[in-house]
Every structure is written in C-alpha cells, then in structure tokens.
Amino acid sequence: MGLLTSASIVSASFLLGVLFTTIVWDSSLLFGKQILTEGTVTAVENYYLTWWNAEMTVKVILHVVVGILFMSLVGKFARKSETAYYFSGASLLLMILVASVYIVITVPSIRLIAQDPLDKSILASSIPDTFTRLQAYFAKSNTGPLGDRARNAAAALRNAEPMGWDKRVEHNSVLCAGNTIIAALLVGVVVLQISEWYVEEQLAKENAELAAQGLAPVVAVEAVAVTEEKKTQ
C-alpha cells in the first residue's frame, strides 16, 4: 500500500471515528421513538457546542486531516491511471459533497445554535469565533460582492429571532442529518480507496506471474494514462 493510499484511508477513517461519536446524539434526535424532550435537545446542542467552543488546536487538527485527505486523493487522481480515474475520481466527488454539506449545513447550523442555545448557561464565550472574525474582516475591508454578502450575513445573524421549540427541533434535526450524510459519504471514500488498493495489488500479482512465465504483462495500472476514447466509453 502506497503512501497516498495509506494517507487517504487513515485520514478518512479518522474523520469517521470523530463522527462516530455523534451517533448517540444524532440517533436520539433523528431515530428516537420517544417524544422529544427539552433534555434531549439540550444534550444535542451541548455536544455540538463542545466542538464549537473547543480550543483552536482541535479545530486546526481536524481541518488539517481533511486537507490531507483531499491532497492525497488529488495526488492519486493526478497519476491519470485507469484505477485512479474511477476510484480516486469517485472519492474526490464524494469529498466535494462532504465539503458542501459541511460548509452549507454544519457550520451555519452550529453557529446559529451558539448564538441562541436552549441552555443559556452554555452560551459561547464573548470572544468571536473564527468565522465571525473572517466575516467581520470581509465586511470591513471588501467593497465588492464578497463584502456585501458578509455584511448581509452578519446583519441576518444579529437580527435573527429566538428559535421556538418547533424551529429548534427542525434546526437540530437538519444538523444531525447533515452529519449522518457526511459519515455515509466518508464510508464510501474508505470503501473506494480499499477497493482501488485491492485492484492494484491483484494486477501487480498477475504481472509478476506473467513475467515469471515470460509472457506479456497485464497493462500496468499506474503506467498508462486514461485515453479520451476510454473516457467516452
């Protein structure tokens, strides 16, 4: 198993392990058969705000792992081999979906909860979070569309009304569902990467056997680029 394959599998598995800890809270909200209580919703919000209010080191480590996963997949796809085209290409597509769900659902949802948690004793610290600081920077320094969006988003967040019970349950359910989707996509990445490694190992064994018999080897997986004809098949 090569370095890039190992990096992609280990980093995806690490992120899956982190998301595995959310199953207890997500399942109680999404799949619980009992009537939702204030204690259940509070427990879910407390859990996610624990990550939100964590030290910057924790957040940096998690995002570095995501970056390693992306770069390893891009490095494998850049080989332009047939296995990379199918397996690593599909993995990259799944990771783009992961990033989309994270940016569109996870971060805004937790940020809104941090502004108005059900349990007011766990309000976020008065120190602005990273996203708020970035938003304030673009709102102050950028006069273009990016600055306009930052200013509009900041105003919408300031003017957001306190969430009622139904809206709060719906909001938390969307957050939990988003994390469940991310976990499923990461499982797909791990399966695809293990499958790619298995296919390459099998082809390497076949080539070794054919070489020992003095026959022409199977087309090397990592040596032949994907042709335009194969892409259109």
Q: How many helices (H) and strands (E) does the chain have?
A: 11, 0
pLDDT at residue 59 in the model: 87
CA distance linking residue 233 with residue 131, whole number of Å? 44
Cα–Cα nearest to 183, from 18, 60, 10:
18
Instruction: Show me where the domains of the chain are located.
Output: 3-231
pLDDT at residue 146 in the model: 67
Which tokens belong to 208? 């070794």
pLDDT at residue 184 in the model: 94
Report the run of H or E that residue 177 belongs to, with start and end. Answer: helix 165-212
Q: What parts of the chain have a pLDDT lower than 70?
A: 1, 119-135, 137-138, 142, 146, 150, 153-154, 156-161, 215-233
CA distance linking residue 12 with residue 66, whole number of Å? 8
Structural contact between residues 172 and 41, judged by C-beta atoms closer than 8 angstroms: yes
**How does pLDDT run across 159-172, given as a tens digit for each residue?**
666 777 888 888 88
**How does pLDDT run across 96-135, given as a tens digit for each residue?**
999 999 999 998 888 888 877 776 655 555 555 666 666 6
Residues 6+ positions from 84 with CB-CB distance below 8 Å: 76, 77, 78, 196, 222
Q: What is the pTM assigned to this prediction?
A: 0.76
CA distance linking residue 45 with residue 34, whole number of Å? 18
Report the run of H or E that residue 51 belongs to, with start and end. Answer: helix 38-52
Q: Which amino acid is at 107?
A: V
pLDDT at residue 221 in the model: 46
Q: What is the distance in angstroms between the CA of the first residue and the CA of the last residue of the chain? A: 29
Q: Which amino acid is at 33?
A: K
Q: What percent of the chain has pLDDT over 90?
A: 26
